Amino acid sequence: MCANSPSSRDFTRFRHRWEMPMIWLSVAITVLAFAIGLTLTLMGHSGLVEAGMTEQDATDLLDTSSFVLLLPLAPLAFFIYRFYMAAQAKSNAILVGPQQFPQLFALYQDLGQRLDMRRMPRLYLTNGNGVVNAYALECNRRNRYVVIHAEIAMLLPTAPDVVEFVLAHELAHHRLRHVSLWRIVIGMVPNLMLLPGLATTRAQEYSADRLAMAVCPNHALAVRLLAVGPWMHQGVDADAWAAQCEAEHREFWVRASNAMSSHAVMVKRYKALRDIECEGFARHGEMF
């Protein structure tokens, strides 16, 4: 059996090695974009024309720089918008508690203890209309949520490892502060540039997987749900899938697809989890 024995309560050590470098790159990109926008605004239309730009190009560039200069207002805008998004999610879902889906609630509370979370995000169960998904939301430190689709939660009696890993993954996003306001703000400009934004999100998803594996050892196969859905997951052969991952993960177009994804493609994601199971947390999932 593959071995896995994480023991430290310093959960940040389970971050993917590229997460914090990408975060600091996002900070640098955001600061640089604001500095450039401020410089262009101070130069003004006439200054840009004198520097050799056409009238239309100067106008277009100033319009773009005006957007960048609104970045200091982004925290307030996102702070308000996140309350709206949370209200929309909550009002169409069921709050899980001791009397509402108690088995799911007990599992969730147990995961919170493993992650040393003093204040648990509230857990909501919602209809995914056939879509398999779960996500973490945060308005502020007191108003935090995890929303899980019924298409996942319904597997608790037959595939508890799947539900356990999904919940651990979402709680890991909270534990590692992936949904904090400042991370969303510094991601605005990198997301517009596409590749830096996707790479940052991908590294965070790897980190959440790694922390989930730390508190749910030997759960790599749980991600089979994301590959084949809740109706065929029981037929997945772990070793055959691992062999497929080993054969395909270095292909050029697989790498290209991964680079353009916010989450690692499944052959890379499952391989990363299997590597952790068999070789420990020194192994990190491939970014490209």
Residue 210 to residue 273: CA distance in whole angstroms: 8
Go through the chain and tell me how many residues it has: 288
Q: Report the distance separating Cα 269 and Cα 186, nearest Å.
A: 25
Sign of CA dihedral 46, 48, 49, 51: positive
pLDDT value at residue 2: 42
List, in order, residues 6 or more apart from 22 with CB less than 8 Å away: 196, 199, 200, 203
Q: Which two tokens stand for residue 20?
A: 């914090």
Tens-digit pLDDT string for the chain (288 aa): 344 444 447 899 999 999 999 999 999 999 998 888 888 777 776 777 777 788 887 787 777 777 777 778 888 999 999 999 999 999 999 999 999 999 999 999 999 999 999 999 999 999 999 999 999 999 998 999 999 999 999 999 999 999 999 999 999 999 999 999 999 999 999 999 999 999 999 999 999 999 999 999 999 999 999 999 999 999 999 999 999 999 999 999 999 999 999 999 999 999 999 999 999 999 999 999
Sorted by where each begins, the domain ranges of the chain are 13-279
What's residue 8's pLDDT? 46
pLDDT of residue 45: 66
3-state SS string over the chain?
CCCCCCCCCCHHHHCCCCHHHHHHHHHHHHHHHHHHHHHHHHHHHHHHHHCCCCHHHHHHHHHHHHHHCCHHHHHHHHHHHHHHHHHHHHCCCEECCCCCCHHHHHHHHHHHHHCCCCCCCEEEEECCCCCCCEEEEECCCCCEEEEEEHHHHCCCCCCHHHHHHHHHHHHHHHHCCCCCHHHHHHCHHHHHCCHHHHHHHHHHHHHHHHHHHHHCCCCHHHHHHHHHCCCCHHHCCHHHHHHHHHHHCCCHHHHHHHHCCCCCCHHHHHHHHHHHHHHCCCCCCCCC
pTM of the predicted protein model: 0.91
pLDDT attached to residue 195: 96
